Amino acid sequence: MGQILDGKGLADLLAGKLQEEVADLKEQGIKPLFCVINIGDDPSSKIYLRTKKKRAQEIGIAQRIYQLPANESQADLLALIDQLNEDSRINGIMIQLPVPEQIDVNEALEHINPEKDVDCLTPSNVGRLWRGDHFVEPATAHGILALLKHYKINLRGKNVVIIGRSSIVGKPLAALMLEQDATVSILHLKTKNLSEYTKRADILVSAAGQANLVTSEMIKPGTVVVDVGINQVNGHTVGDVDFKTVAPKASYITPVPGGIGPLTVESLMEQVVKLTRRNHGR
């Protein structure tokens, strides 16, 4: 049985340290504040918003949620972003994804001041990420690297396979792992014969959003398996990995729930504090 990579435990540990850091900032008169723009009534977004609000309160970070109607216009959204950009009290801004179809999300993201870009999704911050001189990191990718570091899993020279090429997880994670001298392959819907790649992986990360996509036959013994997937099957939350069959073959494995999810939320708070420090010259 592979060792469980306890993301929840690490998230709680890191949140305690971050709480002390925020308290120190407040003693200096600096109050971390970030804003979340949510458009419409996506059920998963509402759950994520509640989770973020709870963690922010625990750490001592102020959060404002701008709940916009599902029929919000692009012009009004951009006007709100401009308003938040100009408010010096606000250290971070993020748009909760997904958004309704009438919203041009790329244009909206381009409108966010890169110095307040909590998600690292503005074009300039994406460029910095790949160039290796970034000052903010996407939360899920940051959380995965923090978890591997905590368990002393070195990336240098390792074959890493990432299933999923999203701008939120797959692509930024590849960039950050390349920084640590891993050899990275990104698989996606058009990739043929996934197992030809996954069987060579020393570290396998699945962020495909497909329940039980990864089976024991697809990995070699001793693989480190990181499951980012969150799927609902018969009323239960499961990942992309068939945990029961894969865990005995893996050296390390994340559970779902309790793996990467809690670290994503905690890592988001870390990015808020990073931007707060940067915006105040600290």
Which residues are identified as catalytic? 52, 96, 119
In contact, 218 and 195? CB cutoff 8 Å: yes
Beta-bridge partner residues of 3:
252
In contact, 259 and 5? CB cutoff 8 Å: yes
In contact, 215 and 242? CB cutoff 8 Å: yes
Measured CA to CA, the distance from residue 140 to residue 144 in angstroms comes to 6
In contact, 125 and 96? CB cutoff 8 Å: no
Measured CA to CA, the distance from residue 152 to residue 12 in angstroms comes to 18
The runs of H, that is alpha helices, within 115-237 are 123-131, 139-150, 170-179, 194-198
For residue 130, CA distances in Å to 82, 170, 180, 204, 219 come to 26, 13, 12, 21, 28
Measured CA to CA, the distance from residue 111 to residue 178 in angstroms comes to 28
AA identity, residue 7: G
